[in-house]
Structures are given as C-alpha cells and as structure tokens.
Amino acid sequence: MEEPQRSRSHTVTTTTSSFTENFSTSSSSFAYDKEFLRTLPGILIVAEIVFGLLVWTLIAGTEYFRVPAFGWVMFVAVFYWVLTVFFLIIYMTMTYTRIPQVPWTTVGLCFNGSAFVLYLIAAIVDASSVTKERNNHNYNSWAASSFFAFVVTICYAGNTYFSFLSWRSRTVQ
C-alpha cells in the first residue's frame, strides 16, 4: 500500500538585500597576513604567548594557592595571555582592516602599555614570593616562572615602544 506521491513545487523565490550582498562579498575572502610573524612586533607577540604560557603553567602546576601573591601573578599571566592570543588572531587575519571604526593604534598602545605595567608588577611580586624553604618542592617552578615573567615584561615593553611609534605616526598626520 503505497502512498501517492505529492506534487512538489520547484519554484523557489529568493530575495537579497544590500546588507547580505555586502556581507557575503566582504567575508567571502579570508585575509591572512603571514608576513606579520616576520616583523619584530609579530615576533614579540609570539614570544609573549610562549613565555606567558610558561609563566602561568609553571605556577599552575604547583600549590600556588598557599602563597596568595601567586593568585595575582596567575590573574595577570592568564588574562594577558588570552588577550594576546586574541590580538594575534586579529593581526593575522587582518580584522583590523575590516573594522576601521576602532582606533587600533590607540587600542594597541593601551593594551601593550597596561600589559607592560601589570606584568612588571606581577614579575616583581612573583620574584619576591619565591622562597627556598625545606620541603618546598615548588621552588624551581616558581623561580622559573619569575624569570619568564621578566622575559614577558621585556617583550611587552618592546611592543609598547612599537605601538607608541605607530600611534605617534598616526596622530602626527
């Protein structure tokens, strides 16, 4: 007992708007700037990501909750690590060219400047919190995280300098 087949309408109406046309044409091509990683700011961002990851993983693998100061170091390290990965994606995909309303040079200067200051504070707190006590198996990890925190601080200082140069050249014009 087969059911009779229903007739289907093969007529499909479509409408397009200027918004969908503009959106589909602007997002259909994927921009990728592989040359960015060869620039000094690109190299510094990759270094910030790698060494920043070392900072917070070296601390997270220990009993850092016993020393309250490491909570601050963890906050700064994880917060700026996530944002730096976000900015790397923005630079690599050239998203900043698609959103011209955002003053990217000012955003970069504020981000790198705040990262430099807060990472410097976190590195000093990290270094001053490292103590060699008996039966303290966390010493090596904490000492290494302190070293890498200062390395990341130097990287953010470099990117702050380059962001300042970029910002200054935009404001002069």
CB atoms within 10 A of CB 52: 27
Taking the whole predicted model, whether its pTM rises above 0.75 is answered as: yes
Structure tokens at 127: 């270094």
Among the residue ranges 50-54, 126-130, 155-159, the one predicted with the least confidence is 126-130
What is the per-residue pLDDT for 88? 95
| pLDDT tens sequence across 82-135 | 999 999 999 999 888 888 899 999 999 999 999 999 999 999 999 999 887 756
Spans of all domains in the chain: 30-102, 103-131+144-172
Higher pLDDT, 159 or 32: 159
Fill in the amino acid letter for 103.
P
Structure tokens at 163: 């962001």
End-to-end Cα separation, the chain, in angstroms: 81
